[in-house]
Amino acid sequence: MKSFGLLVTGVGGQGIILASDIASEAAMAGGHDVKKTDTIGMAQRGGSVLSHVRIAEKVRSPLIKEGEADLLLAFEKLEAARWANHLRPDAVAIINRYAQPPLAVNLGDEQYPTDDEITALLKKRTGKVCFVDGTARARQIGDVRTLNMFMLGCASCFMPIKVKDWQDTISQRVPARFLDLNLAAFAAGRKEMRDARLG
């Protein structure tokens, strides 16, 4: 297979590292070579979090260069805009409709971009842009903490990983008492993408 680059981004507390760990392990379960690296920063205070995941027959470096990401999975809208330049032409961008304004916005020094502004920025890189109400859907499923599984369900529709490998990996990483809820969130994310129109 050709190399596949996944960027997972958002803010601290959204389960981004677990999501990228599961994506990496599911890819390995499918026989792929995987390299991953995380940038956590001030994650515990709601700061920016980013994971690079590269999948191929042989991966030499985990870092995804500008213009080489196949999929951007953004748990927070501003973080999607921040990493738009990493998308290759015809990549897929899936963005959760959730905003956590940074300090500069809260102090009035800067303005948080509108959905239209974020979309315009992403569409300079790719025509395949999809906003999802991930946080609201996770609450409907029963626990907002399943957001990461919902977003992985969305991502799984575009990645070279079998559904069973995703499900098996989630089963191994999630405590048994929360497993059904998390698998339901994953399935809901997959359905969301089947029903969505990218553009």
Q: Across the chain, what does the average pLDDT equal?
A: 92
Dihedral of alpha carbons 161, 164, 165, 166, sign: positive
Q: What is the pLDDT of residue 12?
A: 87
Distances (CA, A) of 163 to 10, 58, 76, 109: 24, 22, 25, 45
For the whole model, what pTM was predicted?
Answer: 0.92
Q: What are phi and psi of 101, to 5 degrees?
A: -60, 135
pLDDT for 43 beyond 60: no
Question: Can you tell me the mean pLDDT for 102-128?
Answer: 85
What local confidence, expressed as pLDDT, does residue 155 receive? 98
User: 147-194 pLDDT, tens per residue?
Assistant: 999 999 999 999 999 999 999 999 999 999 999 999 999 999 999 999
DSSP string, 154-169: HHHTTSS--HHHHHHH
Q: Which of 16, 8, 22, 18 is nearest to 71 (CA)?
A: 8
Q: What is the mean pLDDT of residues 33-58?
A: 84
Task: Name the band, by pLDDT with cuts 50, 70 and 90, for residue 40.
Answer: confident
CATH fit for domain 4-195, picks 3.20.20.80, 2.60.40.10, 3.40.920.10, 3.40.50.1980: 3.40.920.10
Separation between Cα atoms, residue 57 and residue 9, nearest integer Å:
24
